[in-house]
Amino acid sequence: MADVKSMADPQFLREEELRQAIEMLFFAYRDFTSEPDAMLSEIGLGRAHHRAIYFVGRNPDITVTQLLGILKITKQSLSRVLSQLVRERYIEQHTSDEDRRKRLMRLTEKGVELERALTSNQRKRIAGAYEAAGAEAVQGFKDVLQGIMDSSDRWRFGLEPDGEGVAGADQPPGELALTRSTGGGS
């Protein structure tokens, strides 16, 4: 049986189509982050704080090393962000019972409330777009996003580096998969 993808007219690979996709990603991301950015600005926080709050909320008891692996920022940058979030009581840290060298982080109640407020509009935007597009388009969108992300992060969503789904795809030691909802956040 012929592969439908290879038979399709590659109109979408033309320069203008690719540039339009780049621009659409820009505008979508700008609008996706605009409301949370405004909320954060009012309380003296920024987008880096949002990312930390989001992933700590999705992964209670995450370590600094694991968060660094997700965010791919310098330890110094993350330290500034986390210091402020701990100082302002959005995140709390405690020592691991198994390894006293590890600091585990989770959202405080104040952090949970902020994460929910920041994510609310984003969830509505995605839900509305998914509903309007339908299941097949949603899967196509996910396929495109997985194709755009670095292959080194595809395992986080149960995929091999080539994008093929694999139950229990290899997870590097100490890293977190992101396909599960762990509570403590949205």
pLDDT in tens, 17-32: 999 999 999 999 999 9
**Banded pLDDT at 158 (limits 50, 70, 90):** confident
- How high is the pLDDT of residue 4? 47
Q: How far apart are the first and last CA of the chain?
A: 43
How far, in Å, CA of 12 to CA of 15, rounded? Answer: 8
Amino acid at 115: E
Where b means 16+ CB within 10 Å and e means fewer, 110-133 reads ebbebbeebbebbeeeeeeeeeee
Burial label for 62, CB within 10 Å (0-12, 13-18, 19+), is buried
pLDDT in tens, 54-111: 999 999 999 999 999 999 999 999 999 999 999 999 999 999 888 888 889 999 999 9
* Cβ 55 vs Cβ 71: under 8 Å: yes
- How high is the pLDDT of residue 179? 46
Amino acid at 102: K
Distances (CA, A) of 33 to 29, 47, 97, 184: 6, 8, 37, 21
* Cβ 129 vs Cβ 67: under 8 Å: no
- How high is the pLDDT of residue 181? 42
Sorted by where each starts, the structural domains of the chain and their CATH numbers stand as: 15-157 (1.10.10.10)
Q: Which residue has the higher pLDDT, 103 or 177?
A: 103
Report the run of H or E that residue 94 belongs to, with start and end.
Answer: strand 91-95
**Banded pLDDT at 172 (limits 50, 70, 90):** low
pLDDT in tens, 104-148: 999 999 999 999 999 999 999 999 999 999 999 999 999 999 999
- Count of other CB atoms within 10 angstroms of residue 105: 24
Average pLDDT (33-46) is 98
